[in-house]
Structure 1
Amino acid sequence: MAKLASILFAICLSGAYAEERPTVSLDDGLIRGTYKMSYHGRKFAAFEGIPYAQPPIKNLRFKDPEPVVPWKGVLDATSHYKCLQLQLQDIRVVGGEDCLYLNVYVPKEKFQSGENLNVLVHIHGGAFMLGDPNEMSGPSKLMDRDIVYINFNYRLGPLGFYSTGDSILPGNYGLKDQAFALQWVQKNIDKFGGNPKSVTLTGSSAGAASVHLHYFSQLSKGLFHRAWAGSSSALNPWVVKKDPSVSAKILAKEVGCNSDSVELLAQCLRERPAMQIQDAVKVTYKDWLVPLSPFGPTIEPNTPTSFLTTHPYASLISAGVVTNAPLTFVTTTGEGLLPSIFYYQRLNELNQRGYSYNRTFQEDISEKISEYYFDYDPITAENFDKFVKVCGQRLFENGIEKSIKLHGKVTKSDVFFIRMDFGSTASGLEHFGLPHAGDSIFYYDVAFQNSTLGDKQIKMKDILLDMLVKYAETGKLYVENVELQSNLKREDLRHLFVKGPGDIRMQSSKTLGGLDFWNSLGLDEDENLYGR
């Protein structure tokens, strides 16, 4: 472990310096972190860059995560890591293959085992292709509350999800990393003052889809006790790949691994430089593909180490493997804004391509979509909100609505739903509503969003943080002067509508809109594959 060796140092520092930094003794070895300041000026302990699995390199590439080899000396837990990924801004590969590290944040200067603070574990988003916890889910806001917080890296893109659909290259390595990180939490979080019997799993976008997928995995049983999923679910149409071999073959050809033998293919791919594999992702991208996720979760052959062996929809309608634990879904009123905004400057091309649907659907289905949402009109700046609605309903809201209703029928635990409409923090986009995963800024430090909050936003942050932390303690939503209602055993949707700090109320509706229309198209998914 070259990286690990480079960040180990002997216990030869001056006593005064050593005493200034928090130290924890794990079964794998000693770690020394640092102190940081929270959003409102609270001093907290930060341990960043703790290895939770062996580096997935060489023969461990495309393999299940393996336990860490214990180290000697003291690990300097003040490092940030990013898993290897193709950065879309400049189409450049960044990060490293040795990336299975996590961060632990404790809202105290001094702590010890047995304090039993509730624990929050966050999974970052990024379409299963990119992202990292340090840029997408920083700790400063949460550290104003009494909760232990963990975020972590997991393998992304082909290194995390390459699959040929068999037991040799089954895929889902990134999801297995997530489960392995949750195992680490169970074994170690008590040493940070956390309660391993009170772990709340949270995530945004693909991280939320991951959160939901853990409800269907044999590897995740008993590792968490409630969850909070923002802006995605496992039933979103882009999450579980129908035929992962398509992208697998394209990438293999690009890097010169053309064997018909899966064993030889796997060997060839392990011999290729990781940078070459990740750079080859470019050829698997399809123009106008939304979201950009050619690699992602798959259904695996049924083995003791499989993460997902049945489609989540099939599990829900058959009351199969579904964890019985409280679950809260969150959507925003501008869910479709994040993908659709990239096409705002390309409206002519968008219209010429038939709303881009012909690439995905049969032509008659594209016509129906055009009629239903646009009355056959071209997409313009004036009706662009309709395109935002198309993207939001198709990519996010329909799957979340199905998830809420089906979970409410098959589990005994509460299923809550929050609808956020507090306006966008991006100038010029306010009339579209809060964008996809836009509520993240109220809980986490998000590098690519404006982190400066106004007075009203700070009030909103405090209300939402209190709600999340209370949920992490009790599994119940609580807002002052509002009677919260679950979606357990209901046909309608009961949701907590959040318009602003002074406007939070329960609402009921039959649907978020669009679900019946999309179901009527007979697409090769969910109801049309597994029944109702």
Structure 2
Amino acid sequence: MKWWTCVVFVCAAVLADDEWREVRTAQGPVRGRKHPTADMYAFYNIPYATAPTGEDKFKAPLPAPQWLEPFDAIDEGVICPQPTLPMDFMPKNLVTKENCLIVNVFVPNTKKTNLSVFVYVHGGAFIIGYGGMVSATHLMETKDFIIVTFNYRLGIHGFLCLGTEDAPGNAGMKDQVALLRWVQKNIASFGGNPDDVTLAGGSAGSAAVDLLLLSKSAEGLFHRVIPESGGNLAAFTVQRDPVEIAKTHARKLNFTNVDDIYALEQFYKMASIELLTADAFFDRTDSIFMFSPSVERDTGHEVFLTESPLNILKSGNYRKLPVLYGFAEMEGLFRIDFFEFWKHRMNEKFSDFLPADLKFDSDEEREEVASKIKKLYFGDKPIGDDNALKYVDYFSDVFFAYSMLWAVKLHAEAGNNQVYLYEYSFVDEDTPLVPHTDVRGADHCAQSKAVYDMTTITQKDESLATPEFKKMKKIVREIWHNFVKTGYVPMIIT
């Protein structure tokens, strides 16, 4: 341990009862404040890297700034450029900045040091979201680990991949690697152990975590992984043809010279933030959101992913770590809002709803496969109100469940005997009924909602949760806590 780290810990102990706590990072001194409702200190908005802007905006992150005077780490609501959506979990006071690479650190009020570290990657289809989307004060009541949340570049800013030097791809994933390196360099100053880091994520954050597990650029930066409701083999996780995707979207934005790769690159480099974030891609029927991580061409700079996740898993050429996979019983409920419109389109041409990672030799083969899949889920009946649950099952499988089960199988075949898997199916009387049924189901990321400080997206007052849900929260938090501390999940009897 460095001598100045010891000095910081002594200082922190002296100031433990004060409103502010100051630590010294590699960038300079940082001051955090007591959390208003929990017995911990919160450090918000610390720059962990610098997002390049202008014509360099698709490149890897640059080093973080440094300072001499104390940096007041207060919450400024900074988010990365993204579409504006009417979502209840997106507060109105958020501030969009192109240089948005900030980290939040939550430290329990304790004199203990060398604490475990829990780094959370937010979800949002690689298109929306921010580090402060979730709060985990109840998970931290054990006071034996630190939580880290952060922003990373999204959408076109984060995942345009042209294979050129100025737009090589995976900027958003390289942001995440930069964050993990920041944790390695700085977390001891907050009382954390850089050799005891658990990386977790939900939805697209889960897919990102699952990719980080396979990337050589992130090797050694974390020691356990919790991917929840998203995997590296899902269709939405990796772009199959990123240049073609860039061309398709450019045409939609009225740019026509798409076959000249450098003209295409210049178009995206000169496009405004408003233009680049105009489309959220959420209404696509092929189980992708267009711009996401990709397999990169080596342009002579650091790369994030050089092989497909499937090939890496099959080869076993990755560091085997303890993994806690989880998904909810009815993940496909996140597509239920489209049901009234899509049920007709699915009857007219089901092949439009096949995931984009399926490739066919002919249109005839595509239609034949689509017919077989439709029959598997819906039988000989048309898709309608009486089989809405089958609609949910279909999207549960094609987005989340199948890819995660496949990954678990490949991990086992590669010799990783530290992989845990669970399905979360808990519901109570507060859970809404699935439309057109008398059935309740655990929806997308329901298990993560049980862990964090919320009962629903719109209601975050945990005291209002039912007794049954409070009990389930206790169980799932215990599972996660044990895994964070040991990499092991014991049998829990209730």
TM-score range, shorter chain: 0.7 to 0.9
1:324 is paired with a residue whose SS is coil
Q: Which letter maps to 2:375?
A: E
Deviation at 1:263, TM superposition (A): 4.3
Query: Does the CA contact (< 8 Å) of 1:126 and 1:205 recur in 2?
Result: yes
CA distance in 1, matches of 2:72, 2:232: 37
CA distance in 1, matches of 2:305, 2:284: 29
Partner of 1:473: 485
Partner of 1:524: none
Q: Which letter maps to 1:444?
A: Y
Match of 1:236 among 234, 237, 246: 234
Query: Normalising by the residue count of structure 2, what TM-score does the alignment of the two structures yield?
Result: 0.85
Query: Does the CA contact (< 8 Å) of 1:255 and 1:272 recur in 2?
Result: no
Structure 1 segment 24-39 matched on structure 2, within 5 A: 24-37=23-36
Query: Does the CA contact (< 8 Å) of 1:119 and 1:200 recur in 2?
Result: yes
Match of 1:72 among 68, 71, 74: 68
Higher mean alpha-carbon deviation, 259-268 vs 206-215, is at: 259-268
2:124 is paired with a residue whose SS is coil
2:51 is paired with a residue whose SS is coil
Partner of 1:433: 441
Query: Normalising by the residue count of structure 1, what TM-score does the alignment of the two structures yield?
Result: 0.79
Pair 187,275 (structure 1): closer, same or farther in 2 beyond 3 Å: same
Deviation at 1:175, TM superposition (A): 0.6
Query: Does the CA contact (< 8 Å) of 1:55 and 1:97 recur in 2?
Result: yes
Q: Which letter maps to 2:420?
A: F
Match of 2:39 among 27, 40, 43: 43
Match of 1:170 among 150, 168, 171: 168
CA distance in 2, matches of 1:187, 1:257: 46
CA distance in 1, matches of 2:411, 2:35: 40
Q: Which letter maps to 2:396?
A: G
CA distance in 2, matches of 1:255, 1:31: 46
Q: After superposition, what is the alpha-carbon deviation per residue over 1:228-275, rounded to whole angstroms, capped at 9, x for unaligned?
A: 111111011221111111221234342758475544543443333222
2:412 is paired with a residue whose SS is helix
Match of 1:143 among 140, 143, 158: 140
CA distance in 2, matches of 1:33, 1:286: 37
Deviation at 1:36, TM superposition (A): 1.4
Q: Which letter maps to 1:395?
A: F
Higher mean alpha-carbon deviation, 423-432 vs 166-175, is at: 423-432
Query: Does the CA contact (< 8 Å) of 1:127 and 1:291 recur in 2?
Result: no
Structure 1 segment 350-429 matched on structure 2, within 5 A: 350-354=346-350, 356-357=352-353, 362-423=366-427, 426-429=431-434
Deviation at 1:464, TM superposition (A): 1.4
Q: After superposition, what is the alpha-carbon deviation per residue over 1:372-428, rounded to whole angstroms, capped at 9, x for unaligned?
A: 111121122221101111111121111111100111121444011111111265422
Deviation at 1:441, TM superposition (A): 1.6
2:20 is paired with a residue whose SS is coil
Match of 1:450 among 447, 451, 459: 459
Deviation at 1:440, TM superposition (A): 1.5
2:327 is paired with a residue whose SS is strand
Query: Does the CA contact (< 8 Å) of 2:177 and 2:218 recur in 1?
Result: yes
Q: Which letter maps to 1:142?
A: L
Percent of residue pairs bearing the same amino acid type: 31
Structure 1 segment 207-286 matched on structure 2, within 5 A: 207-253=205-251, 254=253, 256=255, 258=257, 261-279=260-278, 281=279, 285=281
Deviation at 1:450, TM superposition (A): 3.4
Q: Which letter maps to 2:268?
A: L
Aligned pair count reads 454
Pair 306,355 (structure 1): closer, same or farther in 2 beyond 3 Å: closer
CA distance in 1, matches of 2:412, 2:312: 13
Higher mean alpha-carbon deviation, 265-274 vs 214-223, is at: 265-274
* RMSD of aligned alpha carbons: 2.7
CA distance in 2, matches of 1:267, 1:368: 44
Partner of 2:303: 306
Please, which runs of 5 or more residues in structure 2 have no aligned partner?
1-14, 359-365
Deviation at 1:215, TM superposition (A): 1.5
Q: Which letter maps to 1:269?
A: Y
Partner of 1:337: 333
1:138 is paired with a residue whose SS is coil
Partner of 2:99: 98
1:388 is paired with a residue whose SS is helix
Higher mean alpha-carbon deviation, 153-162 vs 427-436, is at: 427-436
Query: Does the CA contact (< 8 Å) of 1:111 and 1:192 recur in 2?
Result: no
2:120 is paired with a residue whose SS is strand
CA distance in 2, matches of 1:293, 1:58: 24
Q: Which letter maps to 2:303?
A: S
CA distance in 2, matches of 1:372, 1:177: 41
Matched, 1:107 2:104: no
Q: After superposition, what is the alpha-carbon deviation per residue over 1:153-204, rounded to whole angstroms, capped at 9, x for unaligned?
A: 1000000000113444221110110111000000011111111100000011
Deviation at 1:96, TM superposition (A): 2.7
Query: Does the CA contact (< 8 Å) of 2:50 and 2:64 recur in 1?
Result: yes
Higher mean alpha-carbon deviation, 397-406 vs 451-460, is at: 451-460
1:222 is paired with a residue whose SS is coil
Q: Which letter maps to 1:376?
A: D
CA distance in 2, matches of 1:382, 1:181: 47
Pair 411,190 (structure 1): closer, same or farther in 2 beyond 3 Å: farther
CA distance in 2, matches of 1:427, 1:111: 44
Query: Does the CA contact (< 8 Å) of 1:205 and 1:230 recur in 2?
Result: yes
Q: Which letter maps to 1:36?
A: H
Pair 344,22 (structure 1): closer, same or farther in 2 beyond 3 Å: farther
Query: Does the CA contact (< 8 Å) of 1:288 and 1:356 recur in 2?
Result: no
Please, which runs of 5 or more residues in structure 1 have no aligned partner?
1-15, 482-501, 503-532
Partner of 1:186: 184
